[in-house]
Every structure is written in structure tokens, then in C-alpha cells.
Amino acid sequence: MKFSTREDLPCTETAPRHRPFSSGRILAIASNTLTELIRLRVFYALLVFALLLIGSSIFMAQLSFQQEFQILKDVALGAMSIFTSVLAIVATARLIPQDLEDRTVYTILARPVPRLEYVVGKIVGVLALLGISILVMSVAFVLVMYGREQAVVRVTLRQMAGAPPDQVADALRAIRASAFNVNLFPGILIVYLKACLLAALTLFVSTFASTNIFTIVVMAFVYFISHLEATAREYWLQEHGSGLVTRIFLALVALLFPDLQEFNLVDDIVAGTAVSLGLFLKTAALGVFYITIYTLLAAWVFYGKEL
């Protein structure tokens, strides 16, 4: 049997119905965003980061093992924090302006893709990129720490040959306590959440910014102010004897900006403070709350944008 025209086809299968919200479409946008971002030479930066770690460990070998591990952890986790924060801001700031410039956004939105899905897809792509980055950096960090720990253990065992076993055990315990410990993982996760929060906030700013430079500059200020939010909040709530204008200013800072100091747990974790599950979960929940709010607000502003 031959069908001469499209209309002649038997109507056994209906065309898939358009769904108002599709995770498939979000994933497609997210994977495209991720591919686009990976081409940003981000892995060259990761290579530099890894070299920085290795270089710093060789440099620090002249200090005692406790000092060496302390500085190594501080530098590595600080570098993770700096790198992911910068990456989150720079990568996200260019997403919407770049799509507008390339006219990709028109191609996407001309199809039945709601703007919310477009914005969510974009942020998921950035979060995936940040996830990959933090994972690669964590692996490099663990490898460097493990290598240094083994080297220090070997030297200590050689130096303590003939010492009583309990003294050797104490020395090895001290080395292992100074080197990597599992408490660092929640710290790394919080660093990731902080970067995700910054990405969501950057996306929100970029929905009404005219250029990505403007977004980056605004975000640089937001970054510093957000680290001072806790101070502003405390001053505002403690009712210091300041004027009305100052109090309004402090209230605005406290209400408008996220408290990024809440996400700086890693300094104290490196110092040996164990993070409790309750504190970790509350901090993570606060991070997710911020990410959700900023993403929804970004979508709302983007809905009103004339394209």
C-alpha cells in the first residue's frame, strides 16, 4: 500500500503533547550550556590550580609537617573557593548576554520553551560545570595530601626506628590528624554551595544588566557586601546608637544581600573544628533556599524582558 500524501497516513500515533514543564528540555538546555562553558578553557585554569597545589607542597616541605599540612589545606581550599566563586560569576554573567548577542535565545524561545525552563536550564548547566570543577579540584587536593602524608609517614618511621611502639603510634596519629580528614568534605560541599549561590545571584543580575561587564562589576561589589552582611545585620538588630539613615542602610544590606560568611566554614574545619550534621544541613538548606529564590526571580525578570 502506498501513501501519496501526508494526510493519507493512518492516524495510529498522535504527536506528543506539549507539556508546560519538561525536564527533558531543561536537560537539553543545561547540556548545551555545559558544553559551551567547557569550551571556555576552564580546564586550563584547573591545570594551573593543580600545578599551584603541587608547587606549594614542594615549597612548604621546608616547614614542619603540621605547618606544611595546615598551609597546604588552607591554600588548596582557599584556591577552590576563589576559583569556583570567580568561575561562577564569570561563567554565568556571559550566558544571557551571549545568547542575546548570538541570537541563540531567539531560536530557543521561538520553540515552545517557557522562559522559566530556559533560565533553569542555564543555571543547571552552570551548576554542573561548578560540580565538575570542584570534583576535579577535590581529587587533585586529596592526591596531593595523600602523597605528602605518605612521604611524612615514611620519614617519621625512619627517624623513629627503635622507639617504643606507643610513641611511634602517637607520632603517626599526630601526622594523620594533621593531614586529610573526612570533615573537609562537608567544607568542600559548602564551598560548592556558595559558588552555586553566586551563580544564581549572577544570573538574576544578568537578566536586567545590559552587558556582562556590568554584571561582573555588580557581582564583585555584591560579593564583598555579602561578606559584611552579618556585621550589618548584627549592628542593625542590636540597635546601636546610630542615625535613621544608617539604620535604613544597614537594614537594606541585611535584607537584600545573602550572608556569605555562613558559607565560610572551611577555615575552621581546617583548624580541626568538626562540623556537626545539624549545622551542615542548616547551611546547605540556606544555600538551596537562596539558589531557588534567585533562580525564580531571574526567571520572573526574564519573563518581562523584551526580546
The sign of the dihedral angle between the CA atoms of 277, 279, 285, 287 is: negative
Instruction: Report the residue from 124, 188, 250, 266 that binds another protein according to the rule CB under 8 A.
Output: 266
DSSP string covering 212-241: HHHHHHHHHHHHHHHHHHHHHHHHHHTT-S
- The window from 90-98, 126-134, 239-247, 273-281 that contacts another protein (CB under 8 A) reads 273-281
The angle at the Cα of 95, spanning 307 to 133, to the nearest 5 degrees, equals: 160
For another protein, the closer of residues 78 and 131 by Cβ is 78
For another protein, the closer of residues 117 and 294 by Cβ is 294
Q: Which residues of 224-234 are buried (b: 16+ CB within 10 A; e: fewer)?
A: eebbebeebbe
Least CB distance from residue 217 to another protein, whole Å? 16
Q: Using the structure block, give the residue that is written with the C-alpha cell 544564581.
A: 200
Least CB distance from residue 263 to another protein, whole Å? 8
- Spell out, one character per residue from 205 to 244, where the chain touches another protein: x when CB under 8 A holds, - when not: ---x--------------xx--xxxxx-x---x-------
Task: Tell me how far apart the alpha carbons of residues 118 and 112 are, in angstroms, rounded to a whole number.
Answer: 11
Alpha helices in the chain (DSSP H): 23-38, 42-60, 65-93, 95-102, 104-110, 115-159, 165-178, 184-208, 212-237, 244-256, 266-270, 277-303
Q: What angle in degrees, to the nearest 10, is found between the helix axes of 42-60 and 23-38?
A: 60
Least CB distance from residue 180 to another protein, whole Å? 16
Instruction: Report the residue from 61, 135, 155, 255 that binds another protein according to the rule CB under 8 A.
Output: 255
Least CB distance from residue 27 to another protein, whole Å? 27
DSSP string covering 127-173: HHHHHHHHHHHHHHHHHHHHHHHHHHHHHHHHHTTTS-HHHHHHHHH
For another protein, the closer of residues 71 and 217 by Cβ is 71
Instruction: Report the residue from 204, 212, 250, 291 that binds another protein according to the rule CB under 8 A.
Output: 204
- Spell out, one character per residue from 277 to 296, where the chain touches another protein: x when CB under 8 A holds, - when not: -xx--xx--x--xx--x---
For another protein, the closer of residues 217 and 228 by Cβ is 228
For another protein, the closer of residues 23 and 289 by Cβ is 289
For another protein, the closer of residues 22 and 181 by Cβ is 181
Instruction: Report the residue from 213, 252, 288, 307 that binds another protein according to the rule CB under 8 A.
Output: 252
Q: What is the CA radius of gyration of the chain?
A: 25
Task: Tell me how far apart the alpha carbons of residues 49 and 75 are, in angstroms, rounded to a whole number.
Answer: 10
- Spell out, one character per residue from 41 to 80, where the chain touches another protein: x when CB under 8 A holds, - when not: ----------------------x--xx--xx--xx-xx--
Q: Using the structure block, give the residue that is written with the C-alpha cell 537594606.
A: 252
For another protein, the closer of residues 28 and 296 by Cβ is 296
Binding stretches for another protein (CB under 8 A) = 63, 66-67, 70-71, 74-75, 77-78, 81-82, 163-164, 166-167, 170, 204, 208, 223-224, 227-231, 233, 237, 252, 254-256, 258-268, 270-273, 275-276, 278-279, 282-283, 286, 289-290, 293, 297, 300-301, 303-304
